[in-house]
Amino acid sequence: MVNSTVPYFILSTYIYVGSLKYFGHLKYLFFVIVMSLYFLTITANVLLIVVICVNRSLHEPMYMFLCSLFVNELYGSTGLFLSLLIQILSDVHTVSAPLCFLQVFSVYSYGSVEFASLAVMSYDRYLAICYPLEYNMRTTSSKVAMLIALSWLSPFLAIVVLMSLLVPLQLCGNIINKVYCDNYSIVKLACSDTTVNNIYGLIATCLTILCPVSLILYTYMRILKICFSGSKQTRQKAVSTCTPHLASLLNFSFGCFFEILQSRFNMSSVPSMLRIFLSLYFLTCQPLFNPLMYGLTLSKISLTCKKTTLC
């Protein structure tokens, strides 16, 4: 049951930007830019999902994991972009409590699944490079399906628990100083005890961020060890398949790191427009960055895309 003490939330950052004469007159330009970015994101991810699903030559574990990643990009971008587009054109920057909580769930589950998917992909690369002869035996179709299911179900379960602690809170305010709803901003509005929320927030962060990142670091340490002691062909294979994955991880981690930093600490010294851009970075750039990065750097995908578009 959604908290009845606050029927809606006010996204005050939109009010600040709209109050600036210069930016107020450019809201239609902002709308077109955001709409174009959303359209490109949807098109790029859907194109690669279709290419991977239709072409049997891409029905390999690495591309199945990529397909799962692209589906998550569609999910996460939709959870944010639609709200952004509405708020840009709106004169009253409010969002109902149910929709606000729904956005919290969408944003947090997207981020958690992203880290889990990147961890599963790093494990797949670890097996392919460190155990090439045993790779097919270790990555059966049932195991691939299980890993994909695990990368989605575990984060969703963690966020469901987070939401079950967030929704019943008694709130004494409704102003969120951001452009979208997030867990910590709502918890700070509570006038009831939030100790359990804060403790579980740390536990959820460890489960959904630190654990996947630790697995990724471990697998890449093993991969580097093999590369230094292996042949030139092994090093080339590692570079070609691991570079886009590392670029994706660094890009997403940077955005998440700044968002956590901004939520937990006073960032008033940072210009407001820069704070807004960086708070949206991991939610707007990552869904477009991934399909472009993998589509351009993985030769098998890029060649298949060219054949598909030519046909």
pLDDT in tens, 42-62: 999 999 999 899 888 888 899
Q: What is the pLDDT of residue 156?
A: 95
| Paired sense of beta strands 94-96 and 8-11, if any | antiparallel
Q: What is the pLDDT of residue 154?
A: 94
pLDDT in tens, 103-126: 999 999 999 999 999 999 999 999
Measuring CA to CA, which residue among 207, 200, 199, 175 is closest to residue 188? Answer: 175
Q: What is the pLDDT of residue 110?
A: 95
Give how far Cα 116 sits from Cα of 12, 140, 148, 183, 215, Å. Answer: 32, 19, 9, 20, 10
1: tokens are 């049951």
Domains of the chain, earliest start first: 8-310 (1.20.1070.10)
CB atoms within 10 A of CB 60: 17
Q: What is the mean pLDDT of residues 275-290?
A: 84
Furthest C-alpha separation in the chain: 65
Per-residue confidence band for 22, with pLDDT thresholds at 50, 70 and 90: very low
Q: How far apart are alpha carbons 96 and 6 in whole angstroms?
A: 9
Q: What is the pLDDT of residue 293?
A: 86
Per-residue pLDDT at 267 exceeds 70: no
CB atoms within 10 A of CB 35: 14
| Span of 87-96, 143-152, 209-218, 230-239 with lowest mean pLDDT | 230-239
Per-residue confidence band for 193, with pLDDT thresholds at 50, 70 and 90: confident
Q: What is the pLDDT of residue 1?
A: 44
Burial of 56 (0-12, 13-18, 19+ CB in 10 A): exposed
19: tokens are 């109050």
What φ, ψ does residue 271 adopt, rounded to 5°? -50, 140
Per-residue confidence band for 151, with pLDDT thresholds at 50, 70 and 90: very high
94: tokens are 């409010």
Q: How far apart are alpha carbons 180 and 100 in whole angstroms?
A: 8
Per-residue pLDDT at 81 exceeds 70: yes
Residues 6+ apart with CB under 8 A from 31: 85, 88, 89
Write the DSSP symbol of residue 2. Answer: -
Per-residue pLDDT at 21 exceeds 80: no
Q: How far apart are alpha carbons 88 and 82 in whole angstroms?
A: 10
Measuring CA to CA, which residue among 140, 97, 73 is closest to residue 6? Answer: 97
Measuring CA to CA, which residue among 101, 109, 105 is closest to residue 169? Answer: 101
Q: Mind spelling out the 3-state secondary structure of 185-197? A: HHHCCECCCCHHH
| Span of 6-10, 12-16, 135-139, 217-221 with lowest mean pLDDT | 12-16
Query: What is the residue-averaged pLDDT of the chain?
Result: 84
Taking only Cα atoms into account, the Rg of the chain, rounded to an integer number of angstroms, comes to 21
The answer to whether the pTM exceeds 0.85 is yes
Per-residue pLDDT at 16 exceeds 60: no
Percent of the chain residues topping a pLDDT of 70: 89
Q: What is the mean pLDDT of residues 243-265?
A: 83
